[in-house]
Structure 1
Amino acid sequence: MVYFVRVNIAVSRAYVLVNTGVWGLIGLETPNALVTLDQIFDIGLSGGRDRPFLGERPIVSKNPLKYANRYVWQTYGEVDVRRRYVGSALSTLFKSGELGGGEFDAVGVWSPNRPEWQIIDIALQSYNKVSVSLYDTLGKDSVEFIINHAHLTVVFATSEHIPTLLKLAPNVPILKRIVCIDDLTQEASKVLLEWSLAQNVQIQELRELEAYGKANLTDPVRAKPETIASICYTSGTTSNPKGVILTHGNLALATQSNLYGLQLPEEAVLISYLPLAHIYERVCELCVTSIGGRIGYFTGDPLRLLEDSQLLRPNFFPSVPRVLNRVYQAAMAGGNVPGFKGNLFRKAIQVKLDKLHATGDATHIFWDKLVFRKIQAVLGGQIALMSSGSAPISAEVMDFLKIAFACEVTEGYGMTENCATTAKAWPNDPTSSGTVGPPQAVNEVKLIDVPAMGYTSEDKPNPRGELCVRGANCFKVYFKDEKNTKDTVDEEGWLRTGDVAEIDKVGRIKIIDRVKNIMKLSQGEYVALEKIENLYSSSPAVAQIYIHGDSLQSYLLAVIVPDPVQLSGIASKVFGKKIVPEDVQELVAACKDERVNQAILAAITKEAKKNGLKGFETIRRIHLSPEPFSVEDGTMTPTMKIRRKDAYNKFKAELDHLYTLGEPSSSRL
């Protein structure tokens, strides 16, 4: 059976549609809808050429590295001029045959977040070129695959990536030109030029390409909704990345849909630190551009993110659970202390939570000034909207962030294949935490029964099943990948997400499981490993977790990378001496100590009981690792998902040893 839902925007409620062929409430035919990306930039530009648009902190010293204590801005008008220069240069080079030859006029971009990334992308949107992002942490093999697969004859890259591209040159003969986004020193330019000539690749700086475009100026080419805008490669957990073909219409209508319920002040400021190679951040920045707002780029160093925020004072803070959980844990650790200060903190939380749950209002004139002002100042004191995406986040953390920052904190859900747009919580919904809200205006959704996992549309109190979505924002095909396309999109345009969802009585979606990554334990019980990992991740003691099961065993194991602050506190109690989070040697020793191991196991077991995990879903033994899972060692994808096979191979000896110890008695839990 299937269960269909759409949202009626006018009355903010959901209703059931059975066996319907309708699409979402907005589409290409909707009056005044955004349908192309160049249209979005034109709207931003129409607000005034002198309005600030893209900002960054200039470097004032390279040794030691130091940034200015201010943001410097490029205006909409200045960006307009630069996108015309870049676009004109590329158009001329593709027309002359110096570049191109593939199915599309594809252009690679390999750079961390910075103004030039956005300028290049806007140029590509404006001149009918197809952008292809290379993840900053994607890895050599995937970069080589994408260059060949997408037929990239030109790649814009920052200077640190150019040696990698030149080393790859023999394996990517398609690549003809590298445009260096940075200004090179005379010495570096000479070395790279000689190297590139030997590899039959041309190198030039961005400013040189812009000068060439200025000398060969052409008008922008108006896009159509069906014009391909981007091939966005999704990181695979087991194989090569899949190239999601996204049109101007897909991305523009996703932007239009996200503008519903978006509450931001005039000339809103977004802080850009989530990777622009990922679709979530790109859509957030498109939203801000469409209202004539500003985008301030962080320095690139996560350790400076708070400093960047305090200087920029953003209104919009797009984020992910791994960042927001740390904000929550730090705030709770600082406020939830013994004595009068702690009592005041707990009182403020309770009063504001009661008000939030009763009215949806996250503000309080007294407690915001007395207790929460310092927390708000950490991110600049002007946050109006904080969003969470990419992974589940607990309702407890969401509610705390709402009352602590006295702003709208919304969780959404989407994937690369639908431009990060499926569902989003509505503003001022007092009970939305723990859900990702109703379907967005551009979508309809349905649930398909998953009998093997016990999920059906007839479940009580709410229907459950695999979430499927369709709408004008959804992709239609993976580039050169018929098999994965057929596995993901059916003939009616339904996109299978692979996530199991529950839809509540008011039409809000809650992601509860994954169709994949389930396994059967020896006693015949099925366990969903990702779901359990997400629940355990809410424990303050856990920075990262990989859960492992063996079908010949009756219980689960885990590799846990402990949070350094929590680990130092536990180790201090166990060893009877003060250990600070910065003392790496002591923390490494703590991870090897059985007493510390049992203390962390006890802490996460409390989390399991709080979340109602069944006995067979509970972790029974753990291995503590001071070394985090990472993209560099191959145990994580660039989107921070565990590569299960590689994680197991890394810790195979430790996990196999834990199983030789036998199942612990329940009294130890």
Structure 2
Amino acid sequence: MSLTAEKALPYPEVIPYDKQSIPVPGTKRPGQTAHYQNGIWGLTDLNTPNVLRTLDEIFESGLKAGKDREFLGHRPIISTSPLQFANKFLWQTYGQVDIRRRHVGSALVSMFQRGELGGGEYDTVGIWSANRPEWQVVDIALQSYDKVSVSLYDTLGKDSVGKYRINHAHLTVIFSTVDHIPTLLKLAPHVPMLKLIVCLDELSAEARTILKEWSATQNVQLQELQEIEAYGKEHPIEPIQATPQSIASICYTSGTTSNPKGVLLKHMNLALATQSNLYGLQLPDDGTLLSYLPLAHIYERICELCIIAVGGRIGYFTGDPLRLLEDAQLLRPNFFPSVPRVLNRVYQAAMLGGNVPGLKGALFRKAIQVKLDKLHATGNATHVFWDKLVFRKIQAVLGGQIMLISSGSAPISAEVMDFLKIAFSCEVTEGYGMTENCATCAKCWPDDPTSSGTVGPPQPINEVKLIDVPVMGYTSEDKPNPRGELCVRGANCFTVYYKDEKNTRETVDDDGWMHTGDVAEIDQCGRVKIIDRVKNIMKLSQGEYVALEKIENSYASAPLVAQLYVHGDSLQSYLLAVVVPDPVQLASIASKVLGQAVAADDMTALARATKDMRVNTHILQTLTKEAKRNGLKGFEMIKRIHLTLDQFTVENGTMTPTMKIRRKDAYNMYKTELDNLYALGEPTSKL
């Protein structure tokens, strides 16, 4: 039996699409649904036979497939001026990575034992790098030598990376690419525990001299990765076997309104999440993944752990999004983990290229309709004739060997999902998860004719339930389907935010249920569908969280704003707003922009001005200046606005008695206008 077949348990010959999750008898309680478990595999845990229990077991599993198997690949740089990459991937084998992880791990253990590093609650080690083979080599070393990895991802700005995460996790050593080293050295006075920076890049003699001299002035040691490996080779230590309860990683959330939360993940959390995602995985024995989503995010880490567990290959992109398709065509991957932001562009480009006048456009539309009809009737996404005639070119964009495309991190529309299925003639699945449950909670099954728009049933490692959210009108007794806040429990779920008892108590209850903050319904097939958020924090299509009330407060300080409602859609990458301008300010702006006097009490003229695009543009530019002044990030800024003189009031149901906007009602009031603004497409110019 191949390793893939051994670890990736197949779906049964007859898949019970009508019972994808099953309520556990006797678990229904007032104010909540029963507990739902996977309809095929039930509930997996640490005691399930042959499951992966620790991360070092995952690497050993891949290594078992053969030391000479290709493992980590990249395109070497063959010219820096102009920048040019080789037209093939250079591979390290499982055996070579085994040696390197032993060298890195041995060196780190020695330094921690001697007291050169450490001093915190855990032996934490930071990694600050884009995706590359060295990222995985270092992480596997940490998994194998009882060290706790901390990934640094620069979404919150360098100040946050330094002054909060490094201090909070007590990082005494950070493996970093050369481009981040100056930032770390500038931060050194604010992070006195940082003792060692390990450069993942090979430095020129001049750069080495300059950086080592600079680091010495900051009382920080600088070494190159090859120096660490050389030391570990001379002082070998056998790998330290992990236990399921060993701490593996502190993975930080994005921290929208406050400091990011450090999710404390154990080996069993990550290993059993990986095991859960292996169920039903359909890839060849040498299955290849294209790695471009940030490894600092839990979604990509779990996908790569799945590939490692079955002895597959991981090819890392060049780091340039403009070369991503070139990388794909050279690598010819089987597995393409992705996000809606990228998949939406694939969809838009395909539709633009195919939906043209004449015979070509007619054939394209016919092919789509025929395949959609077949997909919705049978779940089968292939067609012998139309795949060869129309869709072969689309499939070639990603190398022509794609067998699995996964979409995660944000919602994606059912229309796009269906198109991707018929265009690539492969399994295209949407999943749902969070850092707190290792990106594992629910996932769609293959060949399900009606799964698009849902995130599928609970994973085998999870059970889920819904609890009532009466303030929002969602209850477990709703018809035709129960609705409520989605709660999840399982061996993949975290139990503690590091050094954060308050947020831990608010998220994990006494029975071990993790409250996601997302409102869901469970449909009649047992699938989960995310429909709302409990709190006014939402995620844009590129994966960035935004706090809508915080943004509203930032704009409200502008004198021209009487009222403002910020609206976001998780299928879109930018925000809109309904703005009720102050009449005096609007009159002044209108007079200036239109070149004619407009009085503040002339409601007819003011109403006319709100519909003039010149006035609209001027007000949006003014609001953007206010946003920048208040320090909003680019993705937090409003990109289009609808102007109106009709105020939000208690009487029309859009405000509470405490004068807070009722978001759902405000959206319903302006649904047409807001939907029309999104229909214009993503703004092309930056304000």
TM score, norm. by length of structure 2: 0.79
Q: Report the counterpart of residue 277 of structure 2 in structure 1.
A: 258
SS state at 2:125 partner: strand
Counterpart Cα distance in 2 of 1:53 and 1:25:
31
What secondary structure sits across from 1:318 in the alignment?
strand
Residue in structure 2 matched with residue 47 of structure 1 by the alignment:
65
1:557-592 deviation line (CA, Å, top 9, x unaligned): xxxxxxxxxxxxxxxxxxxxxxxxxxxxxxxxxxxx
Matched, 1:472 2:479: no
How much has 1:216 moved relative to structure 2?
0.7
Measure the CA separation in 2 of the matches of 1:517 and 1:55.
42
Quick check: 1:172 aligned with 2:191? yes
Q: How does 1:286-297 map to 2 (within 5 A)?
A: 286-297=305-316
For each residue in 1:467-522, what CA deviation from the matched residue of structure 2 results, as whole angstroms up to 9, or x when unmatched? 0100000000000000000111001111011111011011100111111118899x
2:577 aligned residue = 548
Identity of aligned residues (%): 68
Shift of 1:624: 12
Is 1:533 equivalent to 2:569 in the alignment? yes
1:448 aligns with 2:467: yes
SS at match of 2:92: strand
How far apart are 1:138 and its partner, in Å? 3.9
Partner of 1:463: 482
**1:314 aligned onto 2:333:** yes
1:38 alignment counterpart: 56
Cα distance in 2 for partners of 1:659, 1:118 equals 53
Q: Secondary structure at the match of 2:478?
A: coil
Tell me the residue number matched to 2:84: 66
Q: 1:324 corresponds to which letter in structure 2?
A: L
Shift of 1:137: 3.9
Q: Which amino acid in 2 is paired with 1:545?
A: Y
1:70-89 alignment runs, 5 A limit: 70-89=88-107
Q: Which amino acid aligns with 1:227?
A: S
**Aligned equivalents of 1:350, 1:407: Cα separation in 2:** 17
Q: Indicate conservation of the 8 Å contact 1:513/1:528, yes or no.
A: no
Residue of structure 1 equivalent to 2:526: 507
Q: RMSD of the alignment, in Å?
A: 3.1
8 A Cα contact 2:444 2:454, kept in partner: yes
SS, match of residue 448 in structure 2:
coil
Q: Distance in 2 between matches of 1:473 and 1:665?
A: 41
Aligned with 2:384: secondary structure? coil
Counterpart check, 1:347 vs 2:366? yes
Distance 1:375 1:16, change over 3 A: same
Number of the residue aligned with 1:278: 297
1:299 corresponding residue in structure 2: 318
Q: Is the 8 A contact 1:111 1:136 kept in 2?
A: no
Contact 1:133 1:277 in 2 (8 A): yes
2:350 alignment partner in structure 1: 331
Partner of 2:397: 378
User: 1:5-59: CA deviations, max 9, x gaps?
Assistant: xxx9985622223247898610111110000000000010010100000000000
Preserved contact between residue 35 and residue 464 of structure 2 (Cα < 8 Å): no
CA distance in 1, matches of 2:115, 2:283: 45
Work out the CA distance in 2 between the residues paired with 1:200 and 1:259: 46
Give the unaligned 5+ runs of structure 1. Answer: 1-7, 522-526, 538-543, 554-592, 602-620, 637-641
Q: C-alpha displacement at 1:548, in angstroms?
A: 3.4
What SS does the aligned partner of 2:574 have? strand
Deviations 1:147-188 (A, max 9, x none): 100000000000000000000000000000000000000000
SS of equivalent residue, structure 2 residue 569: helix
Shift of 1:660: 6.5
Structure 1 residue 552: deviation in Å?
A: 10
Pick one of 18, 23, 31 that aligns with 1:16. 23
2:263 alignment counterpart = 244
Task: Please tell me whether the aligned partners of residues 517 and 528 of structure 1 are also in contact (alpha carbons under 8 angstroms).
Answer: no
Letter in 1 for 2:120: G
Which of residues 454, 458, 483 is equivalent to 1:439? 458
Structure 2 residue 427 is matched with structure 1 residue 420 = no
| TM-fit CA distance, 1:141 | 2.0
**Deviation at residue 316 of structure 1 after TM alignment:** 0.2
Structure 1 counterpart SS, 2:520: strand
CA drift of 1:549 comes to 5.4
Deviations 1:597-626 (A, max 9, x none): 99xx9xxxxxxxxxxxxxxxxxxx988999
Structure 2 CA distance for partners of 1:307 and 1:466, relative to 1, 3 Å: same
Equivalent residue, structure 1, for 2:633? 635
Structure 1, 426-435 or 112-121: larger mean CA deviation: 426-435
Bigger radius of gyration, 1 or 2?
A: 2
| Alpha-carbon contact 2:127-2:150 (below 8 Å) kept | yes
The worse-fitting range, judged by mean Cα deviation, of 391-400 and 136-145 is 136-145
Separation of aligned partners in 2, 1:439 and 1:84: 37
Match in the other structure for 1:132: 150
Asked whether the equivalents of residues 514 and 528 of structure 1 are also in contact (C-alpha less than 8 Å), the reply is no
Contact 1:517/1:529 (8 A) holds in 2: no
Counterpart contact for 1:385–1:407, Cα < 8 Å: yes
- Partner residue of 1:117? 135
| Equivalence map 1:197-236=2 (5 Å) | 197-236=216-255
What number of residue pairs does the alignment pair up?
574
Query: Residue 474 of structure 1 aligns to a residue in which SS?
Result: coil
Secondary structure (helix, strand or coil) at the match of 1:149 reads: helix
How far is 1:634 from its partner?
5.0
Report the Cα offset of residue 435 of structure 1.
0.4
Aligned CA distance change for structure 1 residues 342 and 421 (closer, same or farther; 3 Å) = same
Number of the residue aligned with 2:412: 393
Q: Distance in 2 between matches of 1:22 and 1:210?
A: 48
- The DSSP-based 3-state class of the residue aligned with 1:439 is coil
Q: Is contact 1:449–1:455 with CA below 8 Å preserved after alignment? A: yes
Change in Cα spacing, 1:634 to 1:119, as seen in structure 2 (3 Å) is farther
* Runs of at least 5 residues in structure 2 that lack an aligned partner in the other structure: 1-10, 29-33, 538-547, 553-563, 583-610, 649-668, 677-687
Offset from partner CA, 1:232-274 (integer Å, 9 cap, x none) = 0111111111000000000000000001121111210000000
Deviations 1:337-386 (A, max 9, x none): 11111110000001111111111111111100000000000010010000
Which residue type is aligned with residue 107 of structure 1? V
Q: Partner residue of 2:684? A: none
Q: Secondary structure at the match of 1:534?
A: coil
Q: Is the 8 A contact 2:243 2:267 kept in 1?
A: yes
- Are the structure 2 counterparts of residues 445 and 528 from structure 1 closer, same or farther at C-alpha, using a change threshold of 3 Å? farther
